[in-house]
Every structure is written in structure tokens, then in C-alpha cells.
Structure 1
Amino acid sequence: MADLPVHTIVFEILTRVPTKDVGRSKSVCKQWYALLSTQDFVRIHCSRSLVSSNQRVLLIDDLTCSVRPIISKSNDYGPSSIVIFPFHHQNNDVSILSHLNGLLCVCLNHTYELLLWSATTTAFKRFSTPDSNGFYINNLDAVGLYVDTDDDYKVLHIKRRSGVLGVYVYSRDVDSWRNIPFITRQDYLSPHFNWSAGTFCGTKRVICFDVNSEQFKEISFPPVPSIGMVQGVLVNVNSSRPCFKSVPG
């Protein structure tokens, strides 16, 4: 029996194995390490992991984060495994702001730097720049990840500084930031207006972002009671396993 080509082993077999086994496989040889670190491998591995049996929960600790699989049939968790952060950070100062297909946008809270981190390959990318792009401030900013029609992973960063609102897009392929237009509305500049990470909601309005045209639009918020405080949350709902977020009344 002829040996399988390395490309077949990596992209047809290893894209279907758990993340922990992918990490071990990177030590086989330099060729495997290079292939397992490519964007193509990460994208395929993540897409094949998007089933209920491959869902994970990440719990951040002091210097590591533990990963526990969700057992959908029993609504329970499997045994945890430890992932050591590959980037230097201080205790309890890492925040996960957004995620997409296994790629996470992380903020180092002591420096406010934004990073892209793949738990699959353990690779990470700092994309802060000397001209202040790539720095995140809680309650003033919002961050979201998306993929365009060219399979380029991008970071959308809405930030408010000294009464000025700017929107910037980072491209992973070209490794650079650029400014894009936003909706002109004075109340979005108010310090009393808070953004939520990955979900862009305003008073009686929801801000939508088209990832292909990279344009914004507003839609009306659903009717709410006229008294009291109401919190709206956007969630993804799977037809077989709906997920809801409970908010105290």
C-alpha cells in the first residue's frame, strides 16, 4: 500500500481531529508544523468543528485557560484540558472580545492591545500600530470578527476617543488597518452611550453591518415596555439546540 501524501494527511485527516492532537502533530517535522500553521488549515479545521459534538467552553484562569467539551446528548461537560497562553500577560488581564470559527480576538487589559489568537495552532498576532490602531477601551469600543467573500478574516473596530467616533477594519491577509465610513448620528458620540462587544445596539435602534459591502445601516428595535430598564441581546439560535441568555428583571 502506497504511503498517503503529506497534504492528504494534513488536510483530510488532521482537520478532523481534536485541537489537542493537532498541537501534538506539529512536532512531527518542520513540514507538518508549517502546514498545520497555515490559514487554510485553521479555516478547514474550524469549519469541520462547527457541529454540536465539537463545541467547547473556554475558562480563563491566571496563566492558562481550560477547555471543556460540551456533551450535547447529556447536557454535560467532558474532562478539561489546559491551553497555555502563548503571549506574555499579567495575571487575570486577558479578555476575549469576539470569536469566529475558532479564531479569537483578545485584549491584553494592562496594555489595551488587541491580538488575534488561534487555539488550534496556538499562533497569535498583535495588530496594534504606533498610530493607536489596535488598542481597545472597554465601554468606549466594540469589536467584531467577520470573513469576507475572499475568505479574508477581518476585525471591525468601532472606537470613540475624545468625542470623535471612528470605524476601522483590519485585514489579516494584508496586515493593515483602514478607515471606513459610519452612520452620522450625534448621540453615538455621547459618553452615556455604551457599545457591546460584537453586538452593536443603540437606543431603539440596532446597527447592522454588511460584511460584503462593509456598509452600516440601522433597523428599528423591537417594541419594549415604556417603563423600567430593558436589555436587548442578540443571540445565535440553532434549530436543534436553542441558546438563550437570562437577564435579571
Structure 2
Amino acid sequence: MFAIIHARRMANSQNRKLITFTDLSIVINNVVGGKIDFFARKNISFPIFTCPLFLNIIASLYGLLLISTEHPSKKLILWNPTTTRYLFLLHENSDSIYLNSADTAGMYLDVSNDLKILHIKRRNDVVVSRVYSRTWRTIDFLKGTLFGSRIYTWSVGTLSNNKLYFTVFHYWLCDNSYIIAFDVNYEVFNQATLPQQTGINVRQGRLFTVKYKLHIFVVEMSRPVTVNLFKFEDEV
């Protein structure tokens, strides 16, 4: 509990850091007044032997990073770059390894302040959702949907007001794109359509939070390409 409270206080601090993965190195920069201090940069190493080129940052929460590795083997790792502590979340020989081309995930704290990870994997057009909290367990996903198909592309989870939100875009049919919400306390999924306007051909969307309100950038495939900003009020 002490660690969680301390982490939340630090999250409101103006002393922020930016971690950057290049092909060969991992760099931490201080962010001062909204600007990167390139003179105070620091190179760090990943705790296991792998080239940063094969690392992918999936999610972050209070300084912890959820990392997937592509080489030499596919792993899912929870990493604290400040303390260098890390934890393997999946066995390398499991069929539940994280595939960047098919899977997505998000991090959150539940009502009891327990850090958890939601892993959504797609195998053979079937969606399997699992929650990690010291061990893995499977939870129910939406019934009767086709979101396991590779014709859909998923975003990573965006945490806002006790829910993890994902955009799910259909590869060809723009009207068949959705937002999936996962209630972190009740562990249930819901779906909603993307914000629609007449004549908009939506191809991309990016969720983010501003002052505890969920927002989304929606990209139109038009000439010239335009971007709309929507703010959600009571999930509408």
C-alpha cells in the first residue's frame, strides 16, 4: 500500500522521464518543463540478453513497463527500469506467448489496489482473455463476435476511470470498427461503435486520457486527410 501511494504521488510530479528504444540501445531522458533534457540522458541495459531492436513496449503504469520480446524467444516481461527488477509473465513454451501481430494488453489497478495485467490473445479466430495477478486465469470475452479474426486490428489498452479501452478496426469495412471497454473492477467487457459523422471514412483512431476524461483522435481517409477529436461524456 505504501508503494502504491508513493507511486501515485510521483505520477503527479513534474519530474518526468522519457524512455526510448533504439535499434541498439535504451535511453532515459529527463523531461523538464515539457522539453527533453538531452544533456542528462542515461543509457541503461535490459535485464535479459536481447537486442532492443526486438523489444516492444506494450503498456506502462506508474513507472512499470510491460514488454514483449521477439528474439531469441517470445516472452512477456514486467520491468521496472528504475530498479532493474523484472518478472517473466509467461512460460516461453506456452501457447499463450505474446504475438505482436495478434495480441494486445493493458495494465491497471483494481478496487483493492492490486496491479493486474489484461492479455487478449487471438488464435484461430478465437479471442481468449486472461488476467494476471501473480498467476494467470481466463475470463469471459464478448460472445458472438468476430473480433478474433485477423481482419480486425486492436490497439493497446488505454486506462480511464476504472476501464481499459481498446479500438478495434476492421481492415476493409470502416463501419464495422468498435471500441471495447473492460471494467477492471467487475471484469466484464462491453462494446460500442466509434464516433460516427456523416461522410466520415474512419481508418484510424487513438485513445488517450486528458484530466480523467477519455478522448479519441479519429483519422478520416479523405483529401486532405483530416483528424477529428472527440471527448467522451458518460461513455458517449
Amino acid in structure 2 at the alignment position of 1:47 = R
Is the contact between residue 74 and residue 98 of structure 2 (CA under 8 Å) also seen in structure 1? yes
Aligned twin of 1:201: 167
2:47 aligned residue (52, 66, 86): 86
1:177 matched to 2:159? The reply is: no
Q: Show the 5 A alignment for 1:114-153.
A: 114-129=76-91, 130-133=93-96, 135-153=97-115
What is the CA-CA distance between 1:62 and the residue it aligns to? 4.3
Counterpart residue number, 1:190: 149
Give yes or no for contact 2:27–2:44 (8 Å, CA) kept in 1: yes
User: Residue 95 of structure 2 aligns to which amino acid in structure 1?
Assistant: S
Correspondences of 1:50-89 after superposition (within 5 Å):
50-72=11-33, 75-78=34-37, 79-89=40-50
Deviation per residue, 1:157-179 (Å, 9 max, x gap): 111111221001111xxx21100
User: Which has the larger share of helix?
Assistant: 1
Partner of 2:229: none
CA distance in structure 2 between the aligned counterparts of 1:58 and 1:225, rounded to whole angstroms: 40
User: Taking structure 1 as the reference length, what is the TM-score of the superposition?
Assistant: 0.72
How far off is 1:123 after superposition? 0.3
Q: Which residue does 1:233 correspond to in 2?
A: 206
Query: How big is the shift at 1:76?
Result: 1.6
Q: Establish whether residue 106 from structure 1 lines up as the match of residue 67 from structure 2.
A: yes
Task: Give SS of 1:92's match.
Answer: helix
> Do the aligned partners of 2:202 and 2:219 also contact (CA within 8 Å) in 1?
no
Kindly provide the amino acid, as one letter, of the partner of residue 212 in structure 1: N
1:81-129: CA deviation from partner (whole Å, max 9, x where unpaired): 2222112213511111001111110001122210000122210000113
Calculate percent identity across the aligned residue pairs: 31
The alignment's TM-score, normalised by the length of structure 2, stands at 0.75
Q: Which amino acid aligns with 1:102?
A: G
Q: SS in structure 2 opposite 1:235?
A: strand
Structure 2: 5+ residue stretches without partners: 158-164, 169-175, 226-236
CA distance in 2, matches of 1:112, 1:167: 18
Superposed displacement of residue 63, structure 1: 4.9
Task: Give the Cα–Cα distance (whole angstroms) in 1 for the partners of residues 200 and 114 of structure 2.
Answer: 44
1:164–1:189 contact (8 Å) kept in structure 2? yes
* Contact 1:87/1:124 (<8 A) preserved: no
SS at match of 1:48: helix
Q: State the alpha-carbon separation in 2 of the partners of residues 137 and 186 from structure 1.
A: 21
C-alpha separation in 1, matches of 2:28 and 2:198: 40
Aligned pairs, number:
201
Pair 1:246–1:182, CA change in 2 (3 A)? closer
User: Which one is further off, 198-207 or 162-171?
Assistant: 198-207
For the residues of structure 2 that align with 1:142 and 1:106, how far apart are their CA atoms? Answer: 11
SS of aligned partner of 2:203:
coil
Shift, 1:192, TM fit:
0.7
Q: What secondary structure is seen at the aligned counterpart in 2 of 1:47?
A: helix
- TM-superposed CA distance for 1:45, in Å, is 4.1
SS across alignment from 1:139 = coil
Larger proportion of strand: 2
